[in-house]
Structure 1
C-alpha cells in the first residue's frame, strides 16, 4: 500500500462501491470480531460486579485484552506458518480464521463454566479464560485485517473499513446489550447475583460465533502470491513456533512472578495513581525485555534459522522505516499510539460509571449497548463515505477534534446523576464521533501497510493503537477513586488534545512525501 490516497470520488461512486461483494463480506467478519471484546470488557465487568468483585479488580481485568496490544509479536507466525491440513484445504487466511474462531468459542465456554464469586481460585480461572479469549480474538483480528487489505483495491479500503466497523458494532450489540438482556432474563441483577444466569448467557454468546465460522467457510481466499513464504522446511516452522512459545512463556513467567514485588512497591509508594502507573509500565517493560532477551539468545544459539527469523520479525519493521524515513515513521507511530486514547480510556470504566450513577442494567443495555452502537454504525458509514469523498487525513482531523470534545459531555452527566435524556445525548455524541473517527483511522492504517508484510505491519499498527490506552485504562478505577468522575472526564478530554497536532503534522509530512514521489516519477 502507498500513502493515504488524495484522489476524491463522487458521492455516486462512493455509494455504488457499498454493494461490492468484498465490502459486504466485511460486515459478517466484523460481526465475528465484535463478539469477543465486550465479553472481556463491559459484560464481564458487570458480571464481576454482581458477583461482588471490587471495582479496582474489575477494571484491572481489562488487561486481559492486552493481547490486542501485543499481537504484532505472533502476527509474523500467522503470515509464515501454514496450518496442517487446513491451509491446503482452505488457504492461509481462511485456515487461520478457523483456528482463531474455534479457540474463541472454547474460551467463552471456559468463562461460562467458571463462577468468579466462589473465591480467588475461580477468579484466577476466569482471568485465564479471559486471557485465552483475548489471545484468540486478537489472532482473529490479525487474519481479518490481512484478509481485508489483500482482498480489495485501496479505493475500497475506506468502505470496507466502514462495513467492518458496522458489523463489529452489531457484534458488540449482541455481546453487550444481548448479554445484559439475557442475564436479566435468566434472573441475575445487582441485588441478586445468579451464576446460572451468566453461565447460560455466555453459552449463548459462544453460539453466536457460528456466524464467523460460516462466513469463513463461504468467502474466497485472497488472490495473492505468497509462495515465497513457504520455501522453508517443516522443521524450520516448528522451531520458529517453539522459540515463540518459549519467549511468550518467559514473558508470562517474569510478569506473574513480578506481580507480588511490584504490588509491594506500589503500596510502599503510597498507592498514588501516577506512581502506580509508572511502576506497572516498568513491570511490563521488564517482562517484555526478558522475553525478547530469551528469544534473541535462542536465535543466536541457532535454535531457529537466522535468515528466517530476520524475515519474520525484523524485515517488516525495516520496510516501514525505509518507506517513510525515520522522522516521518516515528511521527506516524506516535499518532497511531495516541489517536484513540481518549475514548479507549473512558470506555474501560464507562459501564461501571453508568451503574454507579444509578442506571439499571436494562437502561444501560438499551441506551449504551443498543442505541449507542447503532449510532456508532451510522458514524462509521458516514466516516467511510466522507473519507472516500474528501480524503482520509481531513476526516482524521475532524475525528480527533470531536473525540476530545465529546468527553466533556460526560461531565454534565456525572453532575446530573441518573438523567436518562442526558445519558442518551452523551452516548449518542460519543458513539457518532467514535464511529466516524474509527472508519477513517482504519483506512489510514491500511494505507500505511505494505502488501509484502500485510498481517505483521497492520498488527504492529493496531497493537500500538491500543497499548498505552489500555494500560492507562486499567487504572481508570483508581483515577476515579482519586479525582472523581468529573475530573476523570476532564483528564480524558485533555489527553486527546495532542492528537490534533499529530494529525496536522502527519498530514503535512505525508503531503510532502506524495509530492516528492510524484516529482520523482515524472522525472523517470
Structure 2
C-alpha cells in the first residue's frame, strides 16, 4: 500500500513527465494558434482601423464578429460528425484544426494586402470569415484536448498548457503587434502573423489525433447502425424523430436569428443596422433558453423513456430509406450528445450549469470596464496601464496558470477549483480598495518592497499599487482558469466533446455578455466600489457551488459522471 501510494503520489516528477510528452507540446502550439487570431481580429485590428481613420460606428460593427465565439456551439454538432472530403484520414479533429489554421493564415495574409478604407467591404467579409474559422478552431481544439488526454498527458496539464499558449498568443498578437506596427506597418504585421499561422498549420499535420480511418473501419464492422440506435431496447425512431425536430427547430431558429443579425449589422447603410445592445439584452436570453434549457428538457424526456422502458424497440428495425439514415445521422450529431450528458449527469446537471454560469462571471462581466476604470476613474496614463496590464499582468496570468497546473497535480482538481474561485472572488476587494483611494494596496506594495523596485525603473508608488492589484488578480485568474478548464474538460464525454464543451464554454461567455449592461448602469448610478463588492458576493456563490460539487464527486465517485482517468486527479 505504501509503495503504491508513493508511486501514485503527485508532484513535480509527474508534472515534468507530462510536460515532456509530445501531446503537451502540441497543446501549447494549438493554444497559441487559438489565441493569436482572437487577439488580431477582436483587438489589434481596431488599432489598425483607428490609424486608417475608420469611423467609430464602423468599428463598432466590426466588434460584432465576436458573436462567432459566443455562439460557436450552434455549428459544433457538424464538427463532431462531418468529415472534410479528402482530409478525413488526417484525423477526426486534426482535419478541422489544420484546415482552420491554414485558412486563418491565408486570411491574415490577404488582409495585409487590402486597404481598410477603400476596400472596407472585402476587409469586413474576410474578418468575419476569420472569426468564424477561429471559433471553429476553438471548438475542435477543445474536443482534441479531451480526446487525446491520458494518464501521462492528463486533462489537467493539457488544459493548463493550452491556456498558457493562448495567453502568450494574446501578448504576441497584442503588445508585440503594436510594437512592430510602430516600427514597420500594419500590413507587415498581419503578413508576419499570417505566416506564423500557416507554419502552425503545417506543424499540426504531424500532431497525434483520433484516427478517422480507424473510426470508419469500426463503423463499417458494425454495419449501417454503428451506434446501435435501431437495436432492440433503444428508443423507437418515431420518438427520436420528435426529439430531433424539436431540438433541430430550436437550434435552427437560433442559428438563423444570429446569422441574420450579423448580416444586417454589416450592411453598408448605417440606418439599416440593428441595435446590438438591444439584440443581446433581449434575444440573448431567448437563444440560451432555445439552445440549452429546452433541448436539455427534451434530452431528459428521452432519458426517462429509456429508464421507464416506454417507446422502445422490441426488435431491431434497420433503416428502410436514405431519409431514415439521414435522420439517424442528425440525431447522433445534435440530440445524442445532449441525451448522453443529461443521462450521465442526471439532476447533477442543475448544479453543473449553475457552477458554469457563476464561476467566471466576476471577471467576465467586469473585464469590459477595466480600461474605463483605469483611465477614466483612476486617471492612469495609457503607458502606465499598458505596463501594468499588458506586460506585468500577462506575466502574472502565465505564472498563475503554471501554479494552477501544479496545484491541480498536487492538491487535486476539486480543491484547486474551489481555491481558484475563492481567490478570484477576494481579489475584487483589492479593486474596491483602489476605487476609494488604494491606501491599503499602497501599504501592501510598500511592505513587500515592490514600490521600491518599481521606483528603480522610473515608476512611483501610484503605479506600483496598480501593478500589485492587477498582478494579484491575474495570478488568481490564472489559477482559477487552469482549474475551471480542467474541470469542464473532465465532465464532457469523449466522442461528444465538441458539442458538450462548446455548449458549456459558450454559456460562460454569454452570461458575461448579458450582464454587462446591468453592470454598466450600476456603475453610472452608484460607484465602482459598489460593483466590486457585488462581484465579490457573486464570487462567493461560485465558491459555495464548488464545495457542493466537490462533495458530490467525492461521494459518487464513478457515478459522478467523470471517467476513471478524470477521477484520479479530482
* TM-score, shorter chain, exceeding 0.5: yes
The answer to whether 1:317 aligns with 2:338 is yes
Q: Which moved more, 1:93-102 or 1:493-502?
A: 493-502
1:350 pairs, out of 370, 376, 384, with 370
1:237 aligned partner: none
Distance 1:407 1:199 in 2: 39
Change (3 A) 1:510 1:81: same
Q: Which moved more, 1:107-116 or 1:27-36?
A: 107-116
The answer to whether 1:331 aligns with 2:351 is yes
TM-score by length of 1: 0.76
Residues 262-310 of structure 1, C-alpha deviations (whole Å, 9 max, x = no match): 74996xxxxxxxxx86435357569979xx9xxxxxxxx9698211111
Distance 2:191 2:138 in 1: 22
Q: Which has the higher contact order (CA 8 A, sep 6+)?
A: 1
Deviation, 1:177, is: 1.2
SS at match of 2:20: coil
Residues 302-330 of structure 1, C-alpha deviations (whole Å, 9 max, x = no match): 698211111101001110111111x2012
Is the 1:59–1:348 contact (alpha carbons within 8 Å) kept by the matching residues of 2?
A: no
How do 1:165-176 residues align onto structure 2 when only pairs under 5 Å count? 165-176=163-174
Change (3 A) 1:486 1:131: farther
Q: Which moved more, 1:481-490 or 1:443-452?
A: 481-490
Q: Which moved more, 1:25-34 or 1:147-156?
A: 147-156
Is the 1:277–1:472 contact (alpha carbons within 8 Å) kept by the matching residues of 2?
A: no
1:226 aligned partner: 215
1:30 aligned partner: 31
SS at match of 1:73: helix
1:210 aligned partner: 198
The answer to whether 1:147 aligns with 2:148 is no
The higher radius of gyration belongs to 2
Deviation, 1:204, is: 3.2
1:192 aligned partner: none
2:409 aligned partner: 388
Distance 2:548 2:475 in 1: 25
1:505 pairs, out of 548, 557, 569, with 548
Distance 2:382 2:126 in 1: 24
Change (3 A) 1:423 1:208: farther
Is the 1:33–1:140 contact (alpha carbons within 8 Å) kept by the matching residues of 2?
A: yes
Is the 1:61–1:474 contact (alpha carbons within 8 Å) kept by the matching residues of 2?
A: no
2:260 pairs, out of 233, 242, 253, with 253
Q: Which moved more, 1:477-486 or 1:168-177?
A: 477-486
1:370 aligned partner: 391
How do 1:282-301 residues align onto structure 2 when only pairs under 5 Å count? 284=287
Deviation, 1:52, is: 7.0
1:279 pairs, out of 272, 276, 282, with 282
Change (3 A) 1:245 1:421: same
Is the 1:23–1:160 contact (alpha carbons within 8 Å) kept by the matching residues of 2?
A: yes
Is the 1:400–1:500 contact (alpha carbons within 8 Å) kept by the matching residues of 2?
A: yes
Distance 2:181 2:530 in 1: 32
Is the 1:98–1:216 contact (alpha carbons within 8 Å) kept by the matching residues of 2?
A: yes
Q: Which moved more, 1:60-69 or 1:15-24?
A: 60-69
Distance 1:232 1:106 in 2: 39
Aligned length: 471
Deviation, 1:25, is: 2.1
Change (3 A) 1:218 1:302: closer
2:400 pairs, out of 379, 383, 395, with 379
2:92 aligned partner: 92
How do 1:480-499 residues align onto structure 2 when only pairs under 5 Å count? 480-481=523-524, 483=526, 485-499=528-542
Q: Which moved more, 1:483-492 or 1:503-512?
A: 483-492
Is the 1:399–1:437 contact (alpha carbons within 8 Å) kept by the matching residues of 2?
A: yes
Deviation, 1:472, is: 3.1
1:182 pairs, out of 163, 180, 183, with 180
The answer to whether 1:132 aligns with 2:152 is no
Change (3 A) 1:19 1:505: same
Q: Which runs of 5+ in 2 are unaligned?
A: 1-7, 226-247, 266-270, 296-321, 439-459, 565-570
Is the 1:339–1:499 contact (alpha carbons within 8 Å) kept by the matching residues of 2?
A: yes
1:104 aligned partner: 104
